[in-house]
Each structure stands twice: as structure tokens, then as C-alpha cells.
Amino acid sequence: MAILVLNCGSSSAKYQLYDWEKKEVILTGGVERIGEEVSVIKHSAKGKPNFNDEFSSPTHTEAIQYILKMITDKSYGAIGSLNEIDVIGHRVLHGGEIFKKSTLVTPEVIADLKKLIPLGPLHEPANITGIEVARKLLPKTPQVIVIDTTWHQTMPMEAFLYALPMEWYTKYSVRKYGFHGTSHLYCAKRAAVLLGRKPKDTNVIICHIGNGASLCAVKNGICVDTSMGLTPLEGLVMGTRCGDIDPAIIPYMEREAGLSAIEIDTIMNKKSGLFGICGKIDRRDVEALADEGDKMARIAMDMEIRRIKKYLGGYMALLGKVHAIVFTAGVGEFSTTIRKRVLEDMAPLGVVVDENRNSLAHSRNGEFVISGSTSRTKVFVIPTDEELVIVEDAKAIIDGRYDVHTKFHYSFEDADYVNTQRQEKLREEVAENPMLEKVIARRSWHVD
């Protein structure tokens, strides 16, 4: 059984093909620059040579057509026929208050998604286009949507409401929704396993730090607060997003700079954050500049770290007892500097990082513990696997056994779960650096 995962952005389409019987990813890739004069595809299948190409993709239709062609290509593909795809799982940004969990795609579901475009004008149209194109090209293949906001539906009203007129919520759905839900779900479940606890008995704070970034407070296995809001703009300082600001800045800049609300929204989403302060987005570039003495790069790093620490401390106060802090996503998994600086001086709060462990935990192929022996709160680095959540939701839905995560069991909740592909790569990394073995968080992941 093959399960195709599609993640369509405004100018991109990422994809992954998963073999359910073998429990492994057999093909990955992505198309970038959709709508531009020349689009680019990068494609990789297990046991086949990598494939890169430039082609014309004015819309997502051409991109997905090319993806489907490559999936079945004799030299670069992984299956012989598109009929071998049993279900397609689509990542969708916003479910508003309509969707509380993943669901099978129907014409009615698509109509409801279109109603949510005002809540996600930058992402939702592309998500919907990807669904419609895939349904047109593979009309007999069942399709499922897995939505970033559904994980956060357990937040209490005092967490998701803004202190604005209630009519704004009741009439216009203005509230905090939260995002990165599939990542937070995966990491919350994995943290419970690493702690040897049931999810319902686990309190964790998840730091999903990438180009986009959000923190999530998880109490008794469910989300009770998160840093992103109505849109992914609220919260932390991100690669190009400003995060929290005084909202009065918007009318002020309309008056003083003659900018429209749409122009300001674009600036806050695409030209702010680290990029707005120092001109760089990639944390490695920002850190390198800071090390070279660039003042604004140092300030940009300080701003990002300060904001994370403020949210982290607030969530520790909100939860009371915190069993673990989890770092995940590209920056969270790889930036030893950001992890160290975020958690330094937190010993009075019961958080102590072992610097040697932190410096070793620099891989996407293992789960690591970087807290010191005196730390009352564990600190984990857990590589996220959002695609696996989509795969398992999609399979369960077509099997008729799916439910909300508190009533559903994922394979990665099992104590003996191992991602065999990651473990194989981890074995190679340990062979090169045996010290890495000492920071692996769970015995089942050890490579001896």
C-alpha cells in the first residue's frame, strides 16, 4: 500500500510516498517556483539516482502532473502505476472552527475550506488548489486533509480568545488558532514515550523553531496554549515574520509612511523578523555574521532568543510541573547555540543543560537528551515527522478507525517504535562519532 503526502504552498508542492507495509519512505521531492517562468523539481527515490529538472509550471496542475509522472518513472520512480496509490494525504494550514480533526475530502469539505480563505489568504488557496488538482488527476483515489490547527482545538476559551469585542469572535471567527499542529502532536507523543509516561500524564513545552516558529504548552497530553494566533504571524521572532508587536504600529505606519494595510501585512510576513533586522533568514548565516562582529546580526539573535525565553518561562508558569522541554524543526534540531542560549540561566527554574550533550545533539536521525544530571526537567531534541502523522491519519480514515488524538493510537506512541530509516543513518553517524551514542534518549534507538 502506497500513501502519497502532498503539501502545496503558494508557489511550491512538496511530496512524499510512503510504503505502509514496509513502514518506510520510498520517495520524496518538491517543486519550487510554480507560476514563474521556470519551475524546478528535486526528486529522490529509494535505490534510484536523484533527479533534478527545470520545466514550465504556470499552475499547480502542471507541477502535480510532473510529480505523478516521476512517481511512476521507470528510472526514477518507486511504483509501477498510479493505481498503487491507495490514498493521498494533504497538509492544510487552517481549519478554523469547522474542522476539529483530519477528514476525508468531499465536495462539501472543499466548499468549507473555501469559506476559510479569509483566515489563511496566503496559504489556504494553494492548499485547496492542490486538493482539487489531485482529485482531478486521480479521481478514484480517496483523499484526506490533515490540518495544522486541529491539534490546538483543545485550548480553553481563556487561552484562545482575544480581549476584543465578542462579536469579532462570534461573527468573524477572530481567535487564536495555532499552527505547526502535526509537529506538536508528533513531538508531544514522542516526549511521553521518552519519559516513560502516558500522554495524559505528561506536561511538556515544545519549541518548534524553524523559519516559522511556535511554542506549544501541553498539559496532560493536550494543547492548552500556543504562541501563534489567528494566523502564523503572532508569537516568536521568525525568519521573515515579526511575531508579537504593538498593533497600533499598523495604523501608525499607514499614516506616517502611506502604506496600505495589505502592504504592511506583506512586510510583517515576508520582510520582517530576522531578515528585517539583519538581512538574513537562515540562522547559520545570522550566527556566522554575529560571530564576525556584525552588530545587527547579534541583535537579531538576541531578539529571537529573548522572545523564546519569555514564552518558555510563561508556559512553565502556566503548566506548573514541566516534565520536559522539546526542541524540534530545522533550527531546534540543529542550532546548539540557540538551544544553549535559550536555556542558560534557567537552573533556578529546574532546567540545566549539559553543554557537551547539547554540542553532540546535531542530527535529524536520532532523539537526544541534552539536560544535565541535576536538571529537574528533561530537555529533548526530537526530529519532527509531520509526514508520518499525515500518513497515519490518512490510512486510519480510509480504514474507518480514525478519531481525535486523545482517542487514537499512533504507531510512534509505542515504547518500541523505531524509524528504521533514521536509525540506519544514525548508525553511520555513530560510527563516525561514537560519543553521539551517549546522548541518544531511548534504548530502542541505540545502535549496538
Q: How far apart, in Å, are the Cα atoms of 400 and each of 59, 67, 107, 434?
A: 34, 28, 19, 45
Question: Cell 547539547 sits at which residue?
Answer: 358
Q: How far is CA 73 from the centre of its chain?
A: 30
- Supply the pLDDT for residue 134: 93
| Contact criterion met (CB below 8 Å) for 342 and 283 | no
Position 442 scores a pLDDT of 72
Cα–Cα nearest to 175, from 158, 189, 187 = 158
pLDDT of 123: 86
Question: Could you tell me which residues come within 8 angstroms of residue 434 by beta carbon, excluding any fewer than 6 positions away?
Answer: none
From first to last of its 448 residues, what are the pLDDT tens digits of the chain? 899 999 998 888 999 999 999 999 999 999 999 989 999 999 999 999 999 999 999 989 999 999 999 999 999 999 999 999 999 999 999 999 999 999 999 999 999 999 999 998 878 999 999 999 999 999 999 999 999 999 999 999 999 999 999 999 999 999 999 999 999 999 999 999 999 999 999 999 999 999 999 999 999 999 999 999 999 999 999 999 999 999 999 999 999 999 999 999 999 999 999 999 999 999 999 999 999 999 999 999 999 999 999 999 999 999 999 999 999 999 999 999 999 999 999 999 999 999 999 999 999 999 999 999 999 999 999 999 999 999 999 999 999 999 999 999 999 999 999 999 999 999 999 999 999 999 999 754 444 4
Distance CA 221, CA 317 (A): 17
Domains of the chain: 2-147 (3.30.420.40), 181-381 (3.30.420.40)
- pTM flag (> 0.85): yes
Catalytic residues: 148
- C-alpha 327/C-alpha 371 separation (Å) is 12
Q: Cα(386)–Cα(405) distance, rounded to whole angstroms?
A: 14
Where do the DSSP E strands lie in 33-186?
39-45, 51-55, 85-92, 103-104, 143-147
Contacts of 310 (CB under 8 A, 6+ apart): none
24: its cell numbers = 518506510
Quote the pLDDT of residue 443.
55
State the pLDDT at residue 10.
80
Q: What whole-number distance in Å separates Cα of residue 383 and Cα of residue 361? A: 11
Rounded to whole angstroms, the Cα distance separating 298 from 277 reads 10
Cell of 1: 500500500
